[in-house]
Structure 1
Amino acid sequence: MFGGGEKKDDQIYKEGRGLFHKSTHSQQTTSNMPIDVQNTLEQLELSEKIALTAGVDIWHTVPIERLGVPSARTSDGPNGIRGTQFFNSEPAACLPASLGLGATWDQDLLYQVGELLAEESRAKSAHVVLAPTINIQRSPLGGRSFESFSEDPLLSGKLATQYVKGLQDNKVAACIKHFVTNDQENGRMGSNSVVTDRALREIYLKPFEIAVREANPKAFMTAYNKLNGTHVSEHDILGSVLRGEWKWRGLVMSDWFGTYSTSDAVNAGLDLEMPGPPRWRGEQLTHAVLSNKVTTETLDERVTNVLELVKYAQESGIPFNGPESTNNTPKTRALLRKLVADSTVLLKNDANILPLDKTKKVAVIGPNAKATAFCGGGSASLRPYYTVSPFEGITSKTGSEPDYAVGAYAHKELPDFASYLKSESGDEGIWDVRFYNDKRGAQDRKCFDQLTIEQTKLFLFDYSHKDIPKNKIFYVDATATLKVPKDGVYDFGMTLLGTAKFFVDDKCVLDCTKDQENGNSFFGEGTKEKIGSIELKANKDYAIRLEFGSEATSPRERGGLVSNGGGAVQAGMARQAAAEDTIAEAVELAKRSEQVILFSGLNMAWESEGFDRPNLSLPPHNDALIEAVLDANPNTVIVIQSGAPVEMPWASTAKTIVHATFGGNETGNGIADVLFGDVNPSAKLPITYPLKVQHTPSYYNFGHPKRTLYGEDVFVGYRHYEKVDREVLFPFGHGLSYTSFELSNLSVSKKDDTVTVTVNVKNTGSKTGAEIVQVYVSQEKPSIVRPVKELRGFSKVELDAGKSDTVTVELDVDQATSFWNEYISKWTSEADKYHIHVGTSSAGKHLEGEFEVKKTKNWLGL
Structure 2
Amino acid sequence: MKDLTLEQKVRLLTGEDFWSLYAEPAIGLRKIVVSDGPAGVRGNNWDERDRSANIPSPTALAASWDRALVERLGRLLAAEARRKNVDVLLAPTVNLHRSPLGGRHFEAFSEDPLLSAELGAAYVRGVQSGGVGATVKHFVANDSETDRMSVDVTVDDRALREVYLAPFERIVREGVWAVMAAYNQVAGVTMTESPLLRSILQEEWGFDGVVMSDWFATRSTVAAANAALDLAMPGPDSPWGAALVAAVRAGEVPEAVIDDKVERLLRLASRVGALAGSAGSAIPPAPAVEIAALSREAAARGMVLVRNDGLLPLPPVRRLAVIGPNALHARTMGGGSASVSPTYTVTPLAGLAAALGDSVEIVSAEGCFPSEKLDPVPLEQIVDPADGTPGLRVRFLSASGAVLAEEHRESGRLTYLGSFAGADAAQVTAIELSARFTAAVAGEHALGAAGVGPFRLTVDGHDVLDQVIDPPGPDLVEAMMNPGQAVTAVRLAAGQTVDVVLTHSLPPGNTFPGAMLRLVAAAPRRTEDDELSYAESLAASADAVVVAVGTNEEVESEGYDRANLALPGRQDELVRRVLAANPRTVVVVNSGAPVVLPSAPAVLLTWFPGMEAGHALADVLLGVAEPGGRLPTTWPAAETDVPVYSTRPVDGGLTYAESIHVGHRGWLRSGASPAWWFGHGLGYTTWSYETVSVAGDGVSVQVRNTGPRAGREVVQVYASRPGSAVDRPVRWLAGFAVASAGPGETVTVEVSLPARAFEHWDAGGWAREEGSFTLHVGRSVVDTPLEVEWPGLKSGE
Normalised-by-shorter TM-score class: over 0.9
Q: Helix, strand or coil: the match of 1:42?
A: coil
CA distance in 1, matches of 2:362, 2:408: 36
Structure 1 CA distance, aligned partners of 2:711 and 2:499?
Answer: 52
Within 5 A, what are the aligned runs for 1:352-431?
352-357=310-315, 360-400=318-358, 402-411=362-371, 413-424=373-384, 430-431=390-391
Give secondary structure in 2 for the equivalent of 1:402: strand
Task: State how 1:787-802 maps to structure 2 within 5 Å.
Answer: 787-802=729-744
CA deviation after TM superposition for structure 1 residue 758, in Å: 1.0
The counterpart of 1:690, out of the listed 636, 641, 648, is 636
Aligned to 2:90: 130
Aligned-pair CA distance for 1:294: 0.4
Letter in 2 for 1:389: T
383-392 vs 323-332, which deviates more? 323-332
Q: Kindly indicate whether the alpha-carbon contact (under 8 Å) linking 1:599 and 1:639 is maintained by their aligned counterparts in 2.
A: yes
Question: Which residue, 651, 670, 673 being the options, matches 2:619?
Answer: 673
- SS class of match (1:347): strand
Q: Residue type matched to 2:418 in 1? A: D
Checking the alignment, whether the CA contact within 8 Å between 2:396 and 2:430 is kept in structure 1 is: yes
1:405 is displaced (CA, Å) by: 1.2
Alignment of 1:659 with 2:605, yes or no, is yes
User: CA 1:69–1:436 in 2, change beyond 3 Å: closer, same or farther?
Assistant: closer
Deviations 1:45-75, CA, capped at 9 Å, x for gaps: 0101111111111111111112212111111
Query: Structure 2 counterpart of 1:76, which letter?
Result: D
Equivalenced residue count is: 793
- Asked if structure 2 preserves the Cα contact closer than 8 Å seen for 1:139 and 1:702, the reply is no
Shift of 1:521: 8.2
Partner in structure 2 of residue 816 of structure 1: 757
Of 692, 696, 706, 1:764 maps to 706
2:261 aligned partner:
302
**Matched residue, 1:229:** 188
Distance in 2 between residues matched to 1:740 and 1:780, nearest whole Å:
31
Instruction: Using the TM superposition, give the Cα deviation of residue 505 of structure 1 relative to its aligned residue in structure 2, in angstroms.
Output: 4.2
TM superposition outliers: structure 1 runs of 4+ over 6 Å: 315-326, 425-429
- Whole-Å separation in 2 of the counterparts to 1:503 and 1:325: 47
Q: 1:644 to 1:54 in 2, by over 3 A?
A: same
Equivalent residue for 2:766? 827
Q: Which amino acid aligns with 1:418?
A: P
- Residue number in structure 1 paired with 2:273: 314
Pick closer, same or farther for the CA change 1:525–1:237 going to 2, 3 Å.
same
Please say if 1:459 is aligned against 2:396.
Answer: no
Separation of aligned partners in 1, 2:5 and 2:541: 78
The residue type equivalent to 2:668 in the other structure is: E
Residue 203 of structure 1: CA displacement?
Answer: 0.8
Alignment partner of 1:850 out of 774, 789, 792: 789
Q: Which moved further from structure 2: 113-122 or 306-315?
A: 306-315
TM-superposed deviation, 1:83:
0.6
Residues 51 and 62 of structure 1 are in contact (CA less than 8 Å); yes or no, is this contact kept in structure 2? yes
Paired amino acid for 1:817: F
CA contact (8 A) 2:392 2:435 kept: yes
Shift in alpha-carbon separation, 1:646–1:703, aligned structure 2, 3 A: farther
Equivalent positions of 1:592-671 (< 5 A) are: 592-648=541-597, 650-651=598-599, 654-671=600-617
Aligned to 1:273: 232
State the distance in 2 between where 1:108 and 1:525 align.
Answer: 37
Aligned 8 A contact 2:325 2:367 in 1: yes
Task: Kindly report which structure 2 residues correspond to 1:718-737, keeping only aligned pairs within 5 A, or say none.
Answer: 718-737=664-683
Shift in Å, 1:469: 5.5
Where does residue 264 of structure 1 map in the other structure?
223
- Counterpart in 1 of 2:433? 477
**Residue 296 (structure 1) shift:** 1.1
- Residue deviations 1:751-791, cap 9 Å, x none? 5xx2x211111111111110000000111331122101110
**1:531 shift after superposition:** 3.6
Residue equivalent to 2:69: 109
- Asked if the contact 1:462–1:566 (Cα under 8 Å) also holds between the matched residues in 2, the reply is yes
Residue of structure 2 equivalent to 1:573: 521
**Which deviations, in whole Å up to 9, do the C-alpha atoms of 1:657-716 show, x marking residues without a partner?**
111111221111111110111101110010001122232222245455821111111111
Please give the alpha-carbon distance, in whole angstroms, between the structure 2 residues aligned to 1:541 and 1:318: 62
Distance in 2, Cα, partners of 1:777 & 1:125: 45
Q: Which residue of 2 aligns with 1:290?
A: 249
Q: What is the alpha-carbon distance in structure 2 between the residues aligned to residue 54 and residue 534 of structure 1?
A: 47
Whether 1:47 and 2:16 are equivalent positions in the alignment is no
Unaligned runs of 5+ in 1: 1-40
Q: What are the residue-to-residue correspondences of 1:549-564 with 2, within 5 Å?
A: 549-552=504-507, 564=512
SS at match of 2:689: strand
Q: Map 1:170-189 to 2 at 5 A.
A: 170-189=130-149
Residues 490/483 of structure 1: CA separation in 2 closer, same or farther (3 Å cut)? closer
Which residue number corresponds to residue 523 of structure 1? Answer: 477
SS at match of 2:429: coil
The one-letter code matched in structure 1 to 2:62 is: G
Q: CA separation in 2, counterparts of 1:857 and 1:528?
A: 63
Asked if 1 retains the 8 angstrom alpha-carbon contact of 2:269 and 2:275, the reply is no
CA deviation after TM superposition for structure 1 residue 467, in Å: 3.9
Secondary structure of the 1:699 match is coil
1:466-503 CA-partner distances (Å, limit 9, x unpaired):
44463332432231323244x55443443213432233
1:734-745 matches, within 5 Å, as: 734-745=680-691
Percent identity of the aligned residues?
Answer: 34
Q: Which runs of 5+ in 2 are unaligned?
A: none
**C-alpha separation in 1, matches of 2:780 and 2:230:** 42
Contact 1:421–1:481 (8 Å) recurs in 2: yes
Q: Which amino acid aligns with 2:518?
A: Q
Residue 565 (structure 1) shift: 3.7
Contact 2:419 2:513 in 1 (8 A): no
Kept in 1, the 8 Å contact 2:98–2:111? The answer is yes
Letter in 1 for 2:318: K
For the 8 Å contact 2:30–2:274, the answer to whether it is kept is no
Whether 2:109 is the aligned partner of 1:149: answer yes
Check conservation: 1:773, 1:839, Cα contact below 8 A: yes
Deviation digits for residues 174-216 of structure 1, max 9, x if unmatched? 1111111111111111111111111111111001111123x31
Q: Amino acid of the residue matched to residue 452 of structure 1?
A: R
Q: Secondary structure at the match of 1:638?
A: strand
| Contact kept in structure 1, 2:273 and 2:281, CA below 8 Å | no
C-alpha displacement at 1:82, in angstroms? 0.6
Instruction: Report the aligned-residue RMSD.
Output: 2.7
Question: In structure 2, how many angstroms separate the alpha carbons of the residues matched to 1:515 and 1:494?
Answer: 9
Instruction: Give distance in 2, aligned partners of 1:463 and 1:142.
Output: 31
2:23 to 63, 73, 79: 63
In structure 2, relative to structure 1, the CA distance for the partners of 1:162 and 1:317 (3 Å cut) is: farther
Question: Aligned pair in 2 of structure 1 residues 317, 430: CA closer, same or farther (>3 Å)?
Answer: farther
1:579-605, Cα deviation, whole Å (9 max, x unpaired): 322111111111111111001101112
Cα distance in 2 for partners of 1:323, 1:459 equals 31
Aligned-pair CA distance for 1:538: 6.5
Tell me which residue corresponds to 1:31: none
Q: Is contact 1:145-1:643 (8 Å) kept?
A: yes
2:160 maps to 1:200: yes
Task: Give the counterpart letter for 2:498 in structure 1.
Answer: A
Query: In the alignment, residue 567 of structure 1 is paired with which amino acid?
Result: A
Q: CA deviation at 1:621?
A: 0.7
Q: SS in structure 1 opposite 2:337?
A: coil
Report the AA paired with residue 148 of structure 2.
Answer: R
1:342·1:683 contact (CA, 8 Å) conserved in 2? yes
In 2, Cα distance between the equivalents of 1:204 and 1:806? 33
Match of 2:748 among 777, 791, 806: 806
What is the Cα deviation at residue 524 of structure 1? Answer: 3.1
1:691/1:90 Cα in 2 relative to 1: closer, same or farther (>3 Å)?
Answer: same
